[in-house]
Structure 1
């Protein structure tokens, strides 16, 4: 069985919502659970299956000018979020912002 690691940086740029993971990664699982709970649709790309770690590192550096070495790496609505902890902070900010949606002076 051959593993297709052929995704290029150009192909990765087409993803609007993506979680880059690797097998047996507890923070990857936690991040996907959070996204599922929020009803956010996303694609999952697994290191060693759809892409190599080198391609991931180069992609994130080119996309967000950030050097990364860990997973998950998360992009939502075409914006780089970061890892699990960054996702938690992002979602908390979204909830805080929504608390004032119906507020009138």
Structure 2
């Protein structure tokens, strides 16, 4: 069973686009919360992300992974695929 992946984005954010492209390339379904200008949604994201306000913020099975660079670091370390395969 695939992991539950959630990503908070802005529609024109290049890091958000890059992170989603990696997930798309891997064939991973994810829930996207596009929070353009929605401060309430950003506050909720910040709370979930332990204070992280930059975008994107990525969660796998409710675990905060971080942003785009953090996800790509997991990919380089060979750890991302295992996390994406874990059942929720």
Instruction: Give the TM-score of the pair, scaled to structure 2.
Output: 0.73
Offset, 1:89: 0.7
Offset, 1:93: 2.1
Q: Answer 1 or 2: higher relative contact order, Cα 8 Å, separation at least 6.
A: 2
Structure with the higher fraction of residues in strand conformation: 2
Which structure 2 segments of 5+ residues have no match? 83-88
Offset, 1:54: 1.2
Match of 1:94 among 78, 85, 88: 78
Distance 1:90 1:40 in 2: 15
Offset, 1:90: 1.1
Distance 1:44 1:87 in 2: 15
Distance 1:39 1:21 in 2: 19
Offset, 1:44: 0.5
Instruction: Give the aligned CA root-mean-square deviation in angstroms.
Output: 2.5
Match of 2:67 among 77, 83, 92: 83
Distance 2:47 2:30 in 1: 21
Instruction: Give the TM-score of the pair, scaled to structure 1.
Output: 0.62
